[in-house]
Amino acid sequence: MSRADEGGGPPPPGLELAKDFPGLGPGGGGPTVDHTAVRDAISRLRKNLDPVYGSPQPNMSATWSGPGTVAQTAGLGNVGPESTGKWEVANNFGGNVEQAYKAFIDSYSELVEYVEKWAGAVETAITNYEKGHKDSSA
Number of Cα atoms under 13 Å in the Cβ half of residue 75: 13
Classify residue 44: in a domain, yes or no. Answer: yes
In this structure, which long-range contacts are made by residues 43-49, counting pairs with CB atoms below 8 Å and at least 24 apart in sequence? 45/115, 45/119, 46/116, 46/119, 49/112, 49/115, 49/116
Nearest to 72 by CA among 88, 84, 59, 55: 55
User: What's the total number of domains in the chain?
Assistant: 1
Classify residue 7: in a domain, yes or no. Answer: no
Classify residue 58: in a domain, yes or no. Answer: yes
The phi and psi torsions of 9 (rounded to 5 degrees) equal: -100, 175
Beta-bridge partners for 24: 33
% of residues, the chain, pLDDT over 70: 62
User: ∠ CA(127), CA(128), CA(130), 5° rounding?
Assistant: 65
Across 27-46, average pLDDT = 78
Classify residue 23: in a domain, yes or no. Answer: no
Residue 8 has pLDDT above 60, yes or no: no
**Ranges 11-15, 87-91, 103-107, 109-113: which has the least confidence:** 11-15
Across 90-100, average pLDDT = 80
Q: Is the dihedral of CA 26, 30, 34, 37 positive or negative?
A: positive
Classify residue 20: in a domain, yes or no. Answer: no
Classify residue 92: in a domain, yes or no. Answer: yes
User: ∠ CA(17), CA(116), CA(45), 5° rounding?
Assistant: 55
| 49: containing domain | 35-131
Number of Cα atoms under 13 Å in the Cβ half of residue 81: 9
Assessment of whether the complete model's pTM goes beyond 0.75: no
Classify residue 105: in a domain, yes or no. Answer: yes
Classify residue 82: in a domain, yes or no. Answer: yes
